[in-house]
Chains A and B, each alone.
Chain A
Amino acid sequence: MATTTYSPTDSQPRLVGRDRGSRSGIWVGIFAITMSFAAFTSALYVRQGSGDWAHIVLPGIMYANTVILLISSLTMEMSRRTIASSWRSGVRERGGAWPWLAATLVLGLAFVSGQYLAWRHLAAQGLYLATNSNSSFFYVFTAMHALHLLGGIAALIYLMGRCAGSHGTVRPILFHNTAVYWHFMGVLWLYLLLVICTRL
């Protein structure tokens, strides 16, 4: 059972036991995911010279989805700060984070559903995965992002389970890492939106 040293002057807790490595671990993971999307982007750049390139008009719901995702970053951040400040004041209080986590989860699921609706919108225009190069990249980008976001959603559900449990503590580092990942999903989405708007 790992415990964390925490003194009031620390801005970050010193990690011990099984938490050591997890802070750099999340950034390493983010680096790898970034590299994958860089590969997808370079594929797009190579393909954009092809003959069948036909501009896609973005379904409006995607802008709404973007706002939803950005708000979810705020709620995630609130949940992280709740835990961090409660530990700083010495109280191992978990319950305060739960509503913020739930809000993040709802917004995250709303985003994914909204993306699905965007897909239906495109399909109604006859644009499917294999229709042309633009549509292929559109679906690949949005699907890959949504897939990674679902990973984040799984982490949220796990944290909610831990917070709702009757005993035990939830260490701040778990919230920290989940928040970093969640914010990264937002930043990644903004990047993909930019690419989709300007290139597809």
Chain B
Amino acid sequence: MEETSVQPAHVHAPPEGFIRKHVFSLDHKVIGKQYYGLALVAVFMGMTLSWLMRFHLVWPTAKVPGLDLLSPAGAPGGIITPEYYLSLLTMHGTLMVFFVLTNAPFAGFGNYFLPIQIGAEDMAFPRFNMMSFWATLAAFLVLVLAFFIPDGPPISGWTAYAPLSAVGKDAGPGLGWGQSLWAISIAVFCIGQLLGSLNFIATTLDLRAKGMTFMRMPICTWAWFITSCIALLAFAVLLPACLLLLLDRMAGTSFFIPSGLVVSDRLQNHAGGSPLLWQHLFWFFGHPEVYIAILPAVGIVSHVLITSMRKPMLSAKVLIYSMLSIGFLSWMVWGHHMFVSGMNPFSSLLFSFPTLTITIPATIITLIWLGSLYGANIQITSASLFALGFVSMFVSGGVSGFFLAQPSIDIYLHATYFVVGHFHMVMGVAAIFGILSGTYFWFPKMSGRMMNETLGKLHFWITFVGTYCIFMPFHYLGIVGNIRRYSSFVNDFMAPLMPLHKFVSIAAFVTGAAQFIFLYNLIHSRFRGKPAPDNPWNATSLEWSIPSPPPWDNFGGKHPVIYHDPYQYGVKGSKGDFVMQDSPEQLASG
């Protein structure tokens, strides 16, 4: 009947050697940086693709020097063909949604900071965590491989609707091996995300430090936790969908392909499948996916704003419950992508109501932010500027959702640039602003050096104004009836809109160029930035109680004890500016 004495052991041994420290690392911090690095590569790739698209739209006959070397069939003589435009569009969407927006704010920052913010030494399953990154990298490489095969990447969009994506190369260029590589890549990506989400959930449930109750977790920790719950279930649906698609393509099944289709003069040998089934499966994943993209940014921005404002939010609890409501409602709205798809029109009304209802928690979050800014003392830094920019973008992107949530208006606006404007504002800009805010905020902690604030602010101004210049006009174009996913505008109807398109393209090039300021700042500061103190922002959550950069086991073998919520900033009526979460001190009332 003995009780063994417990010496709480480390989750894994200290890393030895370059490979263990920096390549096949079990350390959640290294894995987080690896995800972030992958996202950085993907975002510059995706941005380049968007440049090519914007270039082609306004100068359709102009040559892109060197493009014919990458793809002689897609861009003969450097001139982008209609099919290559669609390939660029498909890869842009796929890279951005999966490899940037799911990677950086969630897998990147979440991996790095979730264990630290709850007082843990590492994630619950470091080996699975490492596997999740390498699976994601493998998925990325498989996807990029599509650029280099003779037929090129798929042309069916990131949404890969069947039967276009399912019948094979009869339907067009890139729909042979290109589409198969896409489906394999996404399937592998799903596995990576499932392993990652598993880690986040188990770690948050079981590895919180003493005194770290759920309600004492920082808002961004909550955001990562909620996101990982959504991701676990969403990617668990996308994976079967991709498998069924691959079976239709390679094994002759007909999950998504009905009978009697004649594609390129060939009668297809399939029967019994439903194109709408693909749409249901895809969007059942796809709608929660966009909340996977935005919720971590909501969490990060809340976290940054609080530190920058020197006061807590009006109610962190309300923010958390709102994020939970969004997470819950996100499962009920997928049909709003399918209002005119041919599904039962009564279902469209059913989907419309929860879609409109999601506005309520989103508005609550926005009003909490705005209401908290009242009476604050906002310290303007690059991080807080991007956080404030996020609030502006969240409003802009959210408000265009009012229109699209209503089926009757969607009859007119579906598949126009209005939709493109909506999702770019809310995902392509707001979520990116969340990532950038987090970067400027946490860079000192991750690297031990400060980023250059002047360059950061310059980066902000150009990006803030630039992204509005790019994406606000999309709404106007949509109202006029400009159709999306067109590789060129070849008729009288569109001709009066070309000046606006030119304006957008120029804005895109300028804004894109400004991102190199950020890249330079990132790399230069990594090696030459001013050394950073442990707590440069006078912030309160646990990551600021450890050195910059943190030791391999985060807390140096110590086990932090938590005494209060993470946002003890001095509001009127209390002495002192702030108290750290692991300090037994209280803000004295006075």
Contacts and interface: CB of A to CB of B under 8 A. Distances in A.
Q: Is A–B contact present in the complex under a CB 8 A cutoff?
A: yes
Interface stretch (A33-41, A115-123, A155-163, A187-195): A33-41
Interface stretch (B271-279, B363-371, B468-476): B271-279
Given A36-B239, A130-B254, A50 B274 contact: yes
B207 A21 contact: yes
A36 B205 CA distance: 23
Interface in A1-48: 1-8, 15-18, 20-25, 28-29, 31-33, 35-36, 38-40, 42-43, 46-47
Contact of B201 (A24, A35, A52): A24
B345 interface: no
12 contacts: A15-B206, A21-B206, A24-B206, A28-B202, A32-B235, A40-B240, A43-B281, A50-B271, A129-B251, A130-B254, A133-B272, A136-B255
A53 B273 CA distance: 11
Contact of A32 (B8, B123, B232, B259): B232
Given A16-B8, A43-B240, A47-B274, A130 B125 contact: no
A154 interface: no
Interface of A: 1-8, 15-18, 20-25, 28-29, 31-33, 35-36, 38-40, 42-43, 46-47, 50-53, 90, 129-130, 132-133, 136, 140
Contact of A20 (B124, B244, B247, B259): B124
B201 A2 contact: no
Given A47-B273, A51-B271, A21 B125 contact: yes
A7 B3 CA distance: 6
B526 interface: no
A50 B275 CA distance: 12
Contact of B232 (A28, A40, A42, A133): A28
Interface in B243-297: 243-244, 247, 251-255, 259, 271-274, 276-277, 280-281, 284
Contacts of B247: 129, 136, 140
Given A6-B4, A28-B201, A36 B237 contact: yes
Interface residues of B, number: 49
Contacts of A24: 201-202, 205-206
Contacts of B197: 28, 32
A31 to B, nearest CB: 7
B588 interface: no
Contacts of A25: 124-125, 198, 201-202
Interface string B61-77: 00000000000000000
Contacts of B274: 46-47, 50
Contact of B9 (A17, A23, A29, A42): A17
Given A23-B206, A50-B274, A53-B272, 10 more contacts: A5-B3, A6-B4, A8-B1, A25-B125, A25-B198, A29-B198, A40-B240, A43-B255, A46-B280, A133-B272
B198 A6 contact: no
Contacts of A23: 206
B236 interface: yes
Interface string B1-17: 11110111111100000
Given A21-B124, A52-B271, A39 B207 contact: no
Interface string B175-209: 00000000000000000001001100111011100
Contact of B277 (A21, A43, A51): A43
B203 A52 contact: no
